[in-house]
Chain A
């Protein structure tokens, strides 16, 4: 029962067929995320135009939770401004860690990640891509290559 809540159909689908997966040419920012506990890796590349994310793609290897989270994230933040995307990062962070946090329309499909918080060992899997995105957006010079870990 709880397991079904973690591996919802949306998660399984995005793990099987990750969206926006692969390289992105002429990216404005390219940031690597790494979880040394489990070996999950993600490379996130994005293009910015007029202060908004005009394109975003990811590559790497990880479990179903981390893959689906990255796939859902790229769908959700494409077209969003930097501050809109960072606001979404805060909302997801809350959703993953705060039992009182409720999903609403703003989160859309991302609400599927709420089952993760019942599995504390897996929260880092879901949050790796989001920390990587935040690092990319917060860097004052988005062209700079940098790396982030969830440890």
Chain B
């Protein structure tokens, strides 16, 4: 994916070449070319991911880590190779630090129940921010209820930005864990996680970063970040649903008890006593999502094969173009205007409910998300029941954004 400067490509990125890798982008919806602007909810898959999963299903499927037969060995090798790809993708120290889970939600629940719950005493504190996804709120509320710990919420400003100083000010001797998003799904805000992690480390506070919205947009190096846990989902980074990753620092994972019991996570079982397996298997009870992990490994390969500076520049150009085009529409207010933003635009149009807008845009083949984005406290903060959200990937085009803006304007005129 080399950067080729051509006059008809405003930012010099050959978007058509990358689009050809995603079969679904060629389809039409309601007679119009699909404009898929809901990547924050789930991104589409390139041919290589689809083919890797198809090849596994057709040629290699068997249960892993079980049989001595050929298929089982092939399936095991493919599954564990996928883990190695993830190790490289986030620069983990070893394969002991990469746990396959169902997704970001399960990863956070695992940390809440297996790391936090045994540790927390009544009066201890867990620190989150106001812009978290429900998946990074509810597991902590549950563990607080179980242990008598308190959930402390750091504020956002009117732009939807998180100020590191405001979060650090809430770190106390009772703070046991900081759990925050890398990128906000509802607003696009990129959080100052380097400063937050550094401040937490000097105070002996563990850190969990919800990277669901980050890994598809920016390189993530967990060693450079220095976080204790990092969670993300396959399907938001061009891989399949039902598979995700919990990265954890080996020292912490070693000390944590398993969170589910069953096959795979044991070394030996008698009715008197069970000996747990080592990392990472200790946290992977039961037959895992084998084809999902293989698809995720292929997604990693796909992303690492991109010119990430070029895709990032294209996404930034899309964000700039969308912000400018939508800002021209009367009565439209962009929700989330932090200086450091990922490539998504949340917005509200006075007099047009987001759900009506979503239906009207769908008639034009344009897919956006409407609703509370599983971040009801964010909606409450901005005094809105819901917003419309267009979230971009590097395969989106300037023309798709122009169609979005035209559709929004058309909807607005309908309801005036």
* Identity of the chain A residue whose Cβ is nearest the Cβ of B410 in the assembled complex: A3
Q: Which residues from chain B contact A64 at a C-beta distance below 8 Å?
A: 353, 356, 415
Whether B371 contacts A41 by the Cβ 8 Å rule is no
Chain A residue at smallest Cβ distance from B416: A16
Q: List A contacts of B385 (CB < 8 A).
A: 39-41, 61-62
Give Cα distance in the complex from A21 to B18, angstroms: 51
Any B CB within 8 A of the CB of A52? no
Cβ A16 vs Cβ B355 within 8 A: no
Which of chain A's residues has its CB closest to B357's CB? A63
Task: Find chain A residues with CB under 8 A from B379 CB.
Answer: 39
Chain B residues with CB below 8 A from A37, complex form? 371
- Determine, out of A24-32, A71-79, A85-93, A118-126, the stretch whose residues face the partner at the interface: A118-126
CB-CB < 8 A to B371: which residues of A? 37-39
Cβ of A61: which chain B residues have Cβ within 8 Å of it? 385
A70 at the interface (CB under 8 A from B): no
Instruction: Give the residue of B360, B370, B372, B414 whose beta carbon is less than 8 angstroms from that of A12.
Output: B414
Interface residue from B353, B359, B372 paired with A62 (Cβ < 8 Å):
B353
Known A37-B371, A39-B386, A41-B385; contact A3-B415, beta-carbon cutoff 8 A: no
Q: Is the CB of B363 within 8 A of A38?
A: no
B415 near A65 with CB under 8 A, answer no
| Chain A window 94-130, contacts with chain B (Cβ cutoff 8 Å), 1 for yes, 0 for no | 0000000000000000000000000101100100000
Nearest A residue to B414 via CB reads: A7
Which of A2, A3, A15, A38 sits near B370, CB closer than 8 Å? A38
Number of A-B contacts (CB under 8 A): 44
B386 touches A65 (CB 8 A): no
Residues A63 and B356 in contact in the complex (CB < 8 Å), given A38-B370, A38-B371: yes
Tally of chain A residues near chain B (CB < 8 A): 22
Q: Mark B364-376, 1 if CB is under 8 A from A, else 0.
A: 0000001110001
Q: Which residues in B have their C-beta under 8 angstroms from that of A119? A: 359
Q: Which chain A residues lie closer than 8 Å to B355 at the CB level?
A: 38, 40, 63, 65, 122, 125
- Interface of B, secondary structure class, is helix
With an 8 A cutoff between CB atoms, is A135 at the interface? Answer: no
Of A16, A39, A40, most buried by chain B (CB within 10 Å of CB) is A39
> Which residues of the partner chain B approach A2 to less than 8 Å between Cβ atoms?
363
* A16 touching B415, Cβ below 8 Å: yes
A6 & B359 in contact (Cβ 8 Å cutoff): yes
Compute how far the CA of A15 lies from the CA of B385 in the bound complex, rounded to whole angstroms: 17
Write the chain A residue with the least CB distance to B372: A39
Most chain A CB within a 10 A radius of its CB, from B353, B385, B414? B353
Q: Shortest beta-carbon distance, A30 to chain B, in Å?
A: 20
Docked pose: A119 CA to B372 CA in angstroms: 20
Distance in angstroms between the alpha carbons of A40 and B353 in the assembled complex? 10
Residues on the A chain within 8 Å of B356, using CB: 7, 63-65
Residues of A near B370 (CB, < 8 A) are 38
CB contacts (< 8 Å) of B415 on chain A: these are 12, 15-16, 64
* Cα–Cα distance between A3 and B372 once the two chains are bound (Å): 24
For the complex formed, measure the closest distance between the CB of B376 and the CB atoms of chain A, giving whole angstroms.
8
A12 to B414, CA, bound (A): 8
With both chains docked as a complex, state the minimum distance between the C-beta of B49 and any C-beta of chain A, in angstroms.
27
Cβ contacts under 8 Å, B354 to chain A = 63
Q: Which partner residue on chain A sits nearest B376 by CB separation?
A: A39
List residues of chain B with CB within 8 A of the CB of A7: 356, 414
Give B409 Cβ to nearest chain A Cβ, in Å: 15
Which chain B residue shows the least CB distance to A1? Answer: B363
Q: Taking CB as reference atom, which chain B residue is nearest A62?
A: B353
Give the CA-CA distance A77 to B296 in the complex, in Å: 55
Residues on the B chain within 8 Å of A15, using CB: 415
Q: How far is the CA of A2 from the CA of B360 in the complex (A)?
A: 10
A38 to B370, CA, bound (A): 8
Which A40-58 residues have a C-beta within 8 angstroms of B? 40-41
349-401 of chain B: CB within 8 A of chain A: 353-356, 359-360, 363, 370-372, 376, 379, 385-386
Within 8 A of A (CB), among B44-99: none
Q: Name the residue of chain B whose CB is nearest to the CB of A2.
A: B363
- Shortest Cβ distance from residue B367 to the other chain A in the assembled complex, whole angstroms: 12
B-side contacts of A6, CB under 8 Å: 359
Does B372 contact A121, Cβ atoms closer than 8 Å? no
Is there contact, CB below 8 Å, between B353 and A3? no
Shortest Cβ gap from B96 to chain A (Å): 40
Q: Give A97 to B371 CA distance when docked, in angstroms.
A: 23
B residues 320-367 touching A (CB-CB < 8 Å): 353-356, 359-360, 363
Task: Give Cα A50 to B25, complex, Å.
Answer: 61
Q: Which residues of B are found within 8 Å of A67, using beta-carbon distances? A: 353
Subset of 11 A-B contacts with CB under 8 Å: A3-B363, A7-B414, A38-B371, A38-B386, A39-B371, A41-B385, A63-B356, A64-B415, A65-B356, A119-B359, A121-B359
B interface residues with partner A (beta carbon < 8 Å): 353-356, 359-360, 363, 370-372, 376, 379, 385-386, 414-415
Q: List 12 additional contacts besides A7-B414, A39-B379; criterion CB under 8 Å.
A: A3-B360, A3-B363, A12-B415, A39-B386, A41-B385, A61-B385, A62-B353, A63-B356, A64-B353, A64-B415, A65-B356, A121-B359
Q: Nearest 3 A-B pairs (CB), nearest first?
A: A63-B353, A63-B355, A39-B385
